[in-house]
Amino acid sequence: MAIRAKLVIIFFAFIIVPMFLLWARWQGTALGSIKSVLRQGLSDRAREISDQVTLALQEHRIRLTAMTKQPMLENYARAAAQSDQVLPSEALRIYLSAFLLSHQKEYSALIGINRQGAPLFKIEPRESDGVIQPFISDKNFSSEDIVRAPEAFAAATDQIYVTEVQQDSSGAHVKLIAPLRDAANNVTSALVIKLRADQLLTAAAGPRVLEKSGRSGASAPAAIVLSPQGTVLYAANAEKQGQNYAQAFQEFAPVFTSLRKEKDKDIDRDPMLISHHLRENSPQLSILLVEDYSKATSQLEFDSYVLLLLTMLLIIVAMLALYYLISGITDSIRRVTKGAKAIATGNLTYQIKVKAKDETRVLAEAFNRMAGRLREMIRKEGEQKQFESFARLSAVLTHDLKNQILSLSLLVNNMERKFDREGFKEDAMRTLSDSVNNLQNLVAKLSDPRTPTKRVRERSNITHLVERVIQRTAAQAASKYNVSSDLTPDIFATVDGKAVERVIENLVINALEAMPDGGSLRVATWQDNGSAFVSVADTGKGMTEEFMRERLFHPFATTKKKGIGLGLYSCRDIIEQHGGRIDVASKVSVGTEFKIILPLKAEESNSGELKLAAAVSGQG
């Protein structure tokens, strides 16, 4: 898969998808928080209305208790103890009429009853000639004026108590009973005051404000109060008052039915939030609060989608920028690789053109300079002896160049598979930088091949040299080969580090090339008896005993179809000049093991200069 396609998949899988999931989670949490706040507000408002109703009823109790303490009512209570049909005196009627008229907005009627609950008289305000006057009746009572005496007086421990919520022709009422007691504190009769439910609930729930539902357009009241029988006692729309809730609010009827079965419960019915509170003390009123939360969440949803859109745009811009950058780097590496292959095959007139101003451009310029120097040397070499010397030099350079090309090829192939992995970019740039340095050294040697190369020996960590080679070569081909290592840390020896590293690299690359269809590569280091050991073993096709005896380590001897045959020859020279040796064990169809043995303190050889092949390879 091309690196460009992988880049899109990586962005989608590791950036866009998690970002979208986080956005969805955030939006859900924000909407849930808003609903939670609204739900708590509705619940608090329902309890507040219930508390206001309780407080208002308490005020009416206090008022009626003070009224029953009047001497005229105490005298009437004593008279009622003697007869169940006693009627109030004229003075008492005037007093009660005045009381009712002074509170006509709150009370609709005042009824006197005996111990059996039968009405004796009834006072109610009526309009006559534009003037509201009390109307007193001693007969023609309706069934609504009768109080079930056993239930009423059985609870007469309180001075004033509520019996029921009733709906009649004049509207909804809350009946309050004020027992009248004789001198022995026995209940002889009572006054029934019909409290206007509309006035009571309006004072508790607030004035009516019509609201519209954003979905259906139907009335969506902020507060609804239902009687125990399901009658609408209070609603924002006064026209629905007095109706059964199933008829008045058909859209919410199933929800109201479910909520009336429990005291405190909330239901989220998109886009409506409905809260219920049952006032358990008499009267048992169902207080419902309905809230359209679409207005509260619409702005949040709009802002969240704008944020999502802006984030997506930024990601797309970043992805395009990175796509362009990766495309430039990939194209540059491919140009360099193509040119390196062309130069390696002998096309020294090939010019690598790279527009980027990074390490790939330095690498391309190094290849171009190397090709130019090779062309110049070929042009100047007129004599056959000089041409033969140059041919050998070119063969050595081609061998080392081939190794560099293999490293670059493995790097390019791995970029399409491993570019997104952590640390790969740093490893890739380090490999490119090492390749540039190696090629620059080759070019420097080509500039004057007759100048002998001085060896620079210093205390080097052999294991670190092996690790660098593995990272640059075998690690890049780990997808095809089974690469294992057993490295002893910190094996120090006084050697020419670059030359020894090149020997190890040559052995590793030979091992990989000996396994074209894949296989196992094992690299190990250890020290024993003052010597450092480096083992490179493969499971390739192996070598015959005749080849190892007569041709191995000889120049231009190789088992490869396209090999030059100078690698092992140069490697042996370098190791021997360090006072060491290379041992080999091989078996056909089983594999080969090369073992480098180096003294921890290298001995100086008799020759003060490296041979040409060894010098070029060591500097590479």
52-109 confidence digits (pLDDT tens): 888 888 899 889 888 888 899 989 989 988 888 888 999 999 999 999 999 988 998 9
Would you give the end-to-end CA distance of the chain in angstroms?
Answer: 33
Does the pLDDT at position 536 exceed 90?
yes
33-51 confidence digits (pLDDT tens): 888 888 888 888 888 888 8
Instruction: List Cβ neighbours of 224 (8 Å cut-off, separation of 6 or more).
Output: 232, 234, 235, 236, 245, 249, 256, 287, 288, 289, 290
Does the pLDDT at position 479 exceed 50?
yes
* Among the ranges given (164-168, 284-288, 536-540), the one the predictor scored with the smallest mean pLDDT: 164-168
Does the pLDDT at position 492 exceed 90?
yes
For range 239-263, the mean pLDDT? 85
Q: pLDDT value at position 214?
A: 40
For range 531-551, the mean pLDDT? 91
For range 161-190, the mean pLDDT? 81
Highest-pLDDT range among 151-155, 300-304, 583-587: 583-587
Does the pLDDT at position 474 exceed 50?
yes
Q: If you search the block for the tokens 């949040």, which residue do you land on? A: 300
Q: Which amino acid is located at 188 in the chain?
A: T
359-382 confidence digits (pLDDT tens): 777 888 888 888 888 877 776 765
> Which contacts qualify for 270-276: CB closer than 8 Å, 24 or more apart?
271/214, 271/215, 271/297, 272/213, 272/220, 273/35, 273/38, 273/39, 273/42, 274/42, 275/39, 275/42, 275/43, 275/45, 275/46, 276/46
Encoded tokens for 368:
């171009």
In whole angstroms, what is the distance from residue 540 CA to residue 518 CA?
8
**Tally of CB atoms within 10 A around 119:** 20
List the strands of the sheet with 161-168, edge to edge: 131-137, 119-128, 107-114, 187-196, 171-181, 161-168
Tell me 282's DSSP state: S
In whole angstroms, what is the distance from residue 340 CA to residue 348 CA?
10
- Cα 247 to chain centroid distance, Å, stands at 47
Compute the chain's Rg from CA coordinates: 52
Q: pLDDT value at position 614?
A: 39
**Tally of CB atoms within 10 A around 39:** 19
Contact 282, 20 (CB under 8 A): no
Contact 65, 102 (CB under 8 A): no
Contact 83, 118 (CB under 8 A): no
Does the pLDDT at position 195 exceed 50?
yes
Highest-pLDDT range among 187-191, 212-216, 363-367, 563-567: 187-191
Does the pLDDT at position 575 exceed 50?
yes
DSSP per position, 421-489: STTHHHHHHHHHHHHHHHHHHHHHHHH-TTSPPPP--EEEEHHHHHHHHHHHTGGGGTTTSEEEEEE-S
Contact 287, 50 (CB under 8 A): yes
Closest of 500, 502, 504 to residue 459, by C-alpha = 500
Does the pLDDT at position 599 exceed 90?
yes
Encoded tokens for 285:
């009123």
Provide the β-strand partners of residue 107.
195
**Tally of CB atoms within 10 A around 282:** 15
Delineate the domains of the chain, giving CATH numbers in brackets: 3-54+207-292 (3.40.1840.10), 69-201 (3.30.450.20), 297-451 (no CATH), 458-620 (3.30.565.10)
Q: Half-sphere exposure of 449 toward its Cβ, with a 13 Å CA cutoff?
A: 25
**Tally of CB atoms within 10 A around 518:** 12
Does the pLDDT at position 449 exceed 70?
no
Instruction: List Cβ neighbours of 211 (8 Å cut-off, separation of 6 or more).
Output: 219, 220, 221, 222, 236, 292
Highest-pLDDT range among 62-71, 323-332, 439-448: 62-71
Q: pLDDT value at position 3?
A: 62
Q: pLDDT value at position 583?
A: 94
Closest of 189, 185, 47 to residue 113, by C-alpha = 189
Q: Are strands 482-487 and 520-528 parallel, antiparallel or unpaired?
A: parallel
More confident residue, 176 or 379: 176
For range 541-568, the mean pLDDT? 74
Provide the β-strand partners of residue 591.
587
In whole angstroms, what is the distance from residue 182 CA to residue 191 CA?
14
